[in-house]
A and B are shown apart, each in its own frame.
Chain A
Amino acid sequence: MNTTATAAPESSGLQGLLRLASRFQGYVGLLVVVAFGAILSPSRHGVNLFLDPPNQAIILRDVAENGIIAVGMTLVLIVGEIDLSVGSVLALVGTGAAWLLVQPHWGAAATVITALLAGAGVGATNGFVTTRLRIPSFVVTMAMLSFARGLARICFGGIAIPVLPVPGLAPESLFVLARRVAGLPVPALLLLVVAVAIGLVLRYTAFGRHVYACGGNPLAARLSGVAVDDTKVAVFAICGLLVALAAIIHVVQLSQGSPNDGVSYELNAIAAAVIGGTSLTGGTGKVAGTVAGAWMLGMIDNILGLNNIAPDVQLLIKGLLIIAAVALQRLQPRS
């Protein structure tokens, strides 16, 4: 305490603002995007189309799928790994779930459970291969990206399986996922539940601490008695489970399961996590930031859609946004 601590006069202005911005990166970004959305939105009959509650509900519904995957991705990134296979796994599990739904003997519950277990199984496989064979997860999950997509197309013949809420065709109970509760789409509520649950696990359980420690310094974690490999396998399994959940939502929303869906979803998930402040080097990251990041991406898509801007331009803007978010992290003053 001998160091001459001053009130840091010069860090009050721009620097302080910058630090605040980077600390609450996801949320500041959200506010900026909402403001832009409100300004740029076309209005009809005096109603701001962007801010209109039904439109906001649509955004939330669209965000849920990527948000749930991105939460799983956040865990994987915090533990110092990456999962590139989420899009293909979504297609595999989603198509599989659709196929089960149209089988006469499988109910909704059995389908959901089977799908979740399958997703967790694929994730655990990623984890096992990564940790036991000591192959970088980038390579392992890239291989799984290819493998799962191929498997989905082989098993289901490369065609979409329709899932319609028609008695005898698919259990109706599942279509609760397409409804709203108190104005909020059910998938968005599911995202909220998932985010809160994973957030609590990260903050309040030994497992959560282990996840951060394994990503920050795996050797130190091992020498502190943390089962590093098991922790990583568990994280991959959770990510796979969340992908399966997203897959079910996907199938219900589109009323079909297609082995060709989910292409490049991994990039959207990574983008949401990174925009939300998760570092690709492991050891840091927060679920709330990721949800904010996913929401932000959803709103941007929506604004551009309302203004009839081509999807290609949306890609362009997403790219710029990712760079801006990471640049903000780099600018963050360190003591």
Chain B
Amino acid sequence: MSDPAKSGAPEPLLEMRGVTKRFPGVVALDCVDFSANAGEVHALMGANGAGKSTLMKILAGVYPLDEGEIRLGGVPLHADDPRAAQRQGIAIIHQELNQVAELRAFENFFLGRELKRARWVLDEGRMKVETRRWVAQLGLDLDPDRKVGQLRVAERQLLEIGKAMSLKARVLVMDEPTTALNVEEVGQLFMVMRRLRAAGLAIVYISHRMEEVFAIGDRVTVLRDGRRVDSRPIGDFTRASLIQAMVGHEPAGAIPARPRSVGGEVLGVRGLEVRGTADRCGLHEIDLTVKAGQIIGVAGLLGSGRTELLEALFGVPNPRRVRGTVTVRGRAVRLSSPRDAIRAGISFVTEDRKGQSLVLPRSVLENASLAGLSLFVRRPLPFLDLRAEQRAVEEMVARLDIKPPTLRTTVASLSGGNQQKVALARFLLLCPALFLLDEPTQGVDVAAKAEIYALVDDLAREGAGVLLASSDIPELLALCDAIHVMCEGRITGSLPRGEATQERILDLATRFGRARTSGRQETASP
């Protein structure tokens, strides 16, 4: 290739012009222009379903484009399939990293292009050295013999980026890379990105997190409904104007903090202990209460026990691992299965929509009514009253503004925000006393986020108790009456509304080592 675009190239390194993509019945991209210069981080933003991932999939050769052209370094890009795109210098770091968990780091690094001695024999030694060298350039000392499944997400990401570098990538697309990272890891990732930018790469950065885009982005392109609505240097945007560009109207923003009336105790937890397993952390000495009308937050870093707490309250872990008392509306309940928990009036919307919430090949209707089918059984015969079911779900679809508003579409074809609404609808039908919500707005666009906040607020107003676990601290601050902060399976502090700040939460969330000797120092593990 002519010249790898050094200092301030006048012509963009990557240029996509008039890109149009139609799917049956829908124009996913309508004549979109997008360009990225060497040595810049270009943020690509837009609500779910705006066309970001379609655009990037076209770039990566996953989808053919219907109209338009793509040029890389002035030369037309022939991205007929992912390998061709990769060969010409396009690398994509997917949100769900495409790695084989059972293979070792260096095997993943060289997957499909293994180094060989003679003609057939794998040269493991050289592959290990090479893997280590590339990853070390990104500031990570990685043992290439470790299985990828045992690496942390941040390490896996760097492994993938290192692989892209070794493939001489010139354009690096990062799709929501920080979703599963903690604050420190995000900082490290940004350092790597800055270094790559300085080395002349064009980085396309896709994220829903505003703060990150302002921290790392040089330029922003906003897509909405398959069209490019704006593309300017980051300095031209404010948080509000960026959100407005994405949603097309001023968002409702944080819900107004109107006080809610608080009723009797819905959930009481005393001395809850859960024995840990190989892949789940344990819980220790958990005490908390949730009253009707309250939204109680659970904060903590990844692996702090947030999810495990909600799971324990929903009867997910083997009851033999659990001790302590749980009361719902004052009555002691035995939670040995999710079925028991639902009968006791508890609902749980999990963080992993596709893995744990939705039955992807089935319809919106079937997914929405799955937990509440007994409501529609016509006694004494065991047959369902399909019309009553349809009416109830239609009401939910309208109330939650699920799009498209047809009940027969499979949930697999819905956007993230709408999938989440279907997951919520399933439990709304049950009118439970207590909602356990785990990351209800993860991977959900700004507009849907505001709707979900309003909904959670409504639920509390209608007299339900809500226990909300989230890694998004501003979200907790906006919604919760009080926040319990967890670290290593314990509640390290509880902050009522008004006393909770981002700093105090982070401080409590990093009080590692109460079980160990050291006090509350921020010593990084080796």
Interface residues of A (CB under 8 A from B): 1-6, 8, 10-11, 15, 200, 204-207, 209-210, 212-213, 216-217, 219-227, 279, 283-284, 333-335
Contact = CB atoms under 8 A, between A and B. Distances in A.
Contacts of B366: 209, 212-213
B384 A206 contact: yes
B440 to A, nearest CB: 15
A157 B366 CA distance: 50
B121 to A, nearest CB: 35
Nearest to B377: A206
Contact of B426 (A210, A212, A224, A333): A224
A97 to B, nearest CB: 30
Contacts of B384: 204-206, 209
Contacts of B426: 224
A210 B49 CA distance: 30
A223 B350 contact: yes
A224 B338 contact: yes
A216 B348 contact: no
Contact of A1 (B377, B386, B403): B403
A212 B339 contact: no
Given A4-B225, A213-B362, A217-B358, A226 B370 contact: yes
Contacts of A333: 24
Contact of B24 (A15, A205, A209, A217): A15
A146 B383 CA distance: 38
A223 B358 contact: no
A203 to B, nearest CB: 8
B26 A5 contact: yes
User: Closest 4 CB pairs between A and B?
Assistant: A216-B359, A206-B373, A224-B371, A225-B342
Contacts of B382: 205-207
Nearest to B25: A8
Contacts of A1: 403-404
A220 B382 CA distance: 23
Contacts of A284: 361
B362 A283 contact: yes
Interface string B334-364: 0001110111000010100001111111100
B282 interface: no
A335 B361 contact: no
A249 to B, nearest CB: 28
A223 B355 CA distance: 11
A284 B360 CA distance: 11
Interface in B418-442: 426
A134 to B, nearest CB: 13
B27 interface: yes
Q: A8, A200, A216: which has the most chain B beta carbons within 10 Å?
A: A216
B373 A209 contact: yes
B383 to A, nearest CB: 5
Given A3-B226, A223-B350, 10 more contacts: A6-B26, A10-B22, A11-B25, A206-B376, A209-B369, A212-B366, A213-B366, A223-B356, A224-B426, A227-B339
B225 A219 contact: no
B30 interface: yes
Contacts of A3: 26-27, 49, 225-226
B26 A213 contact: no
B495 interface: no
Contacts of B371: 224-225
Contacts of B501: none
B373 A220 contact: no
Contact of A204 (B24, B358, B386): B386
A223 B314 contact: yes
Q: B25, B359, B403: which has the most chain A beta carbons within 10 Å?
A: B359
Nearest to B352: A219
B356 A6 contact: no
B359 A11 contact: no
Interface string B361-392: 11000100111011011000011101000000
Contact of B338 (A8, A217, A225): A225
B316 interface: yes
Interface in B304-318: 314, 316
B25 A223 contact: no
A208 B225 CA distance: 38
B178 to A, nearest CB: 26
Contacts of B314: 223
Given A8-B24, A284-B361, A219 B356 contact: yes
Given A8-B24, A213-B359, A219-B355, A335 B383 contact: no
B161 to A, nearest CB: 31
B150 interface: no
Contacts of B348: 223
A221 B360 CA distance: 11
A202 B341 CA distance: 26
Interface in B266-291: none
Contacts of A221: 359, 370
A2 B25 contact: no
A173 B143 CA distance: 76
A6 B66 CA distance: 15
Interface in B1-48: 22-27, 30
A223 B338 contact: yes
A279 B404 CA distance: 26
Contact of B27 (A6, A200, A279, A334): A6
Q: B49, B226, B383: which has the most chain A beta carbons within 10 Å?
A: B383
Contacts of A213: 359, 362, 366, 370
A216 B27 contact: no
Contacts of A10: 22
Nearest to B403: A1
12 contacts: A3-B49, A4-B26, A4-B225, A6-B27, A15-B24, A204-B383, A209-B366, A216-B362, A220-B358, A225-B341, A225-B343, A335-B25
A220 B359 contact: yes
Contact of B361 (A2, A11, A15, A216): A216
Contacts of A205: 382-384
B98 interface: no
B25 A222 contact: no
Contacts of B238: none
A23 B267 CA distance: 48
Contacts of A335: 23-26, 413
Given A1-B404, A6-B25, A11-B25, A206 B374 contact: yes
Contacts of B316: 223
Nearest to A207: B382
A220 B357 contact: yes
A3 B49 CA distance: 9
Contacts of A6: 22, 25-27
A207 to B, nearest CB: 7
A226 B386 CA distance: 19
A218 to B, nearest CB: 9
A283 B370 CA distance: 14
B11 to A, nearest CB: 32
A217 B377 contact: no
A283 B359 contact: yes
Contacts of A216: 359-362
Nearest to B430: A225
Interface in B83-131: none
Interface string B226-239: 10000000000000
A227 B336 CA distance: 12
Contacts of B49: 3
B99 to A, nearest CB: 22
Given A206-B382, A213-B366, A335-B25, A4 B226 contact: yes
A129 B76 CA distance: 59
Contact of B25 (A5, A220, A227): A5
